[in-house]
Amino acid sequence: MDYKIQVSKLKLYYGDVLALKKISLNVQPNSVLALIGPSGCGKSTFLKTINRMNDLVDGVKIEGEVLIDGDNIYHPNIDVVMLRKRIGMVFQRPNPFPKSIYENIAYGPKIHGLVKKNELDDVVEKSLRDAALWDEVKDRLHTSAMGLSGGQQQRLCIARLLAVEPDVLLMDEPCSALDPISTMKIEELVTELKSNYTIIMVTHNMQQAARVSDYTAFFLNGEMVEYDETDAIFTRPQDKRTEDYITGRFG
């Protein structure tokens, strides 16, 4: 089995502070990996190392390797813009462009020159369908995306990613600002999308990790304490710290 993502001995410093302590983990293609842990444990920082979002932060130093499809993404020859096209990211709060729904989706394919103008309509429809949003917005494609509900905006952001045909999706607490129904829709979507993408999701919601992920990694103080199949983590964790965290005995 070839891993989609291979991380080995990854260390990340914010100035002098070691924020990720020698993380090594492999991610299977077409799986969902959930990252759990208390605030400040490094899970979001880790997520951002996968598409080099941390490059934008001053004073960050990274050691170790992150391979995607066998390529080291920290190699000097890597085109970071192309990397972030391959590895899309969804954030805690939906962040659509203040443009029409159509323009939000069409923007990426246009700037990357992925499609001819006459194919754009198809790409927009397909992306919205894949993000389970098409039926709700097909009659208002040219109205502002800002008029959508929070859950719809989040699915729009996912559709916007899908339009540039990535193969890894990073999600940083994608449901934390959403109501339960919208949360359920995103979770269903994640389950759908995993047949075509590899997904890594940071979540504070343990039940969400248990519901949607195939693998779960527990982070604490910059260390990856435990990484296993989700079934095992939530029924028989091996490390006492994992047990204490997932059963609410922390702090």
Partner 1 sequence: MVTTRQNYDNELTKLKQDLLNMGTCVSRAIKDSVTSLAQKDIELARQVIDGDDIIDKMQVDIEEKCMVLIARQQPMARDLRVLGTGLKITTDLERMGDHAYDIAKISLLIANQQLIKPLIDIPRMAGLAQKMVNDSLEAYVNLDIALAEQVCSADDEVDSLYQQMLRELLTYMMEDPRTISQATQLIFVARYLERIADHATNIAEWVIYLETGERVRMN
Nearer of residues 197 and 218 to partner 1, judged by Cβ? 218
247 is an interface residue for partner 1 by CB under 8 A:
yes
Q: Which stretch binds partner 1 (CB under 8 A): 47-55, 82-90, 117-125, 202-210?
A: 202-210
213 is an interface residue for partner 1 by CB under 8 A:
no
184 is an interface residue for partner 1 by CB under 8 A:
no
Contact 69, 238 (CB under 8 A): no
Q: How far apart are CA 84 and CA 97, in angstroms?
A: 17
The amino acid at 161: L
Shortest Å, Cβ 209 to partner 1: 10
Nearer of residues 152 and 230 to partner 1, judged by Cβ? 230
7, β-bridge pairs? 25, 66
242 is an interface residue for partner 1 by CB under 8 A:
yes
The amino acid at 207: Q
39 is an interface residue for partner 1 by CB under 8 A:
no
248 is an interface residue for partner 1 by CB under 8 A:
yes
Shortest Å, Cβ 224 to partner 1: 18
Q: How far apart are CA 52 and CA 35, in angstroms?
A: 17
246 is an interface residue for partner 1 by CB under 8 A:
yes
Nearer of residues 200 and 209 to partner 1, judged by Cβ? 209
Give the 3-state secondary structure of residue 244: helix
249 is an interface residue for partner 1 by CB under 8 A:
yes
Shortest Å, Cβ 243 to partner 1: 5
Nearer of residues 121 and 231 to partner 1, judged by Cβ? 231
Q: How far apart are CA 64 and CA 83, in angstroms?
A: 18
Contact 74, 52 (CB under 8 A): yes
Q: How many residues bind partner 1 (CB under 8 A)?
A: 13
Q: How far apart are CA 213 and CA 190, in angstroms?
A: 9
Residue 191 main-chain phi, psi, to 5 deg: -65, -40
Q: Which stretch binds partner 1 (CB under 8 A): 25-33, 102-110, 129-137, 206-214?
A: 206-214
Window 221-240: contact mask with partner 1 (x via CB under 8 A): -------------xxxx---
Q: Which residues of 87-105 are buried (b: 16+ CB within 10 A; e: fewer)?
A: bbbbbbebebeeebbbbbb
Side-by-side strand order, sheet with 87-90 = 87-90, 168-172, 198-202, 32-36, 215-220, 223-229
Q: Tell me which DSSP letter residue 92 carries.
A: S
In the block, which residue shows the tokens 């109501």? Answer: 179
Q: Among 27, 210, 224, 225, which residue interacts with partner 1 (rule: CB under 8 A)?
A: 210
Q: Which residue ranges make up the site for partner 1 (CB under 8 A)? A: 206-207, 210, 234-237, 242-243, 246-249
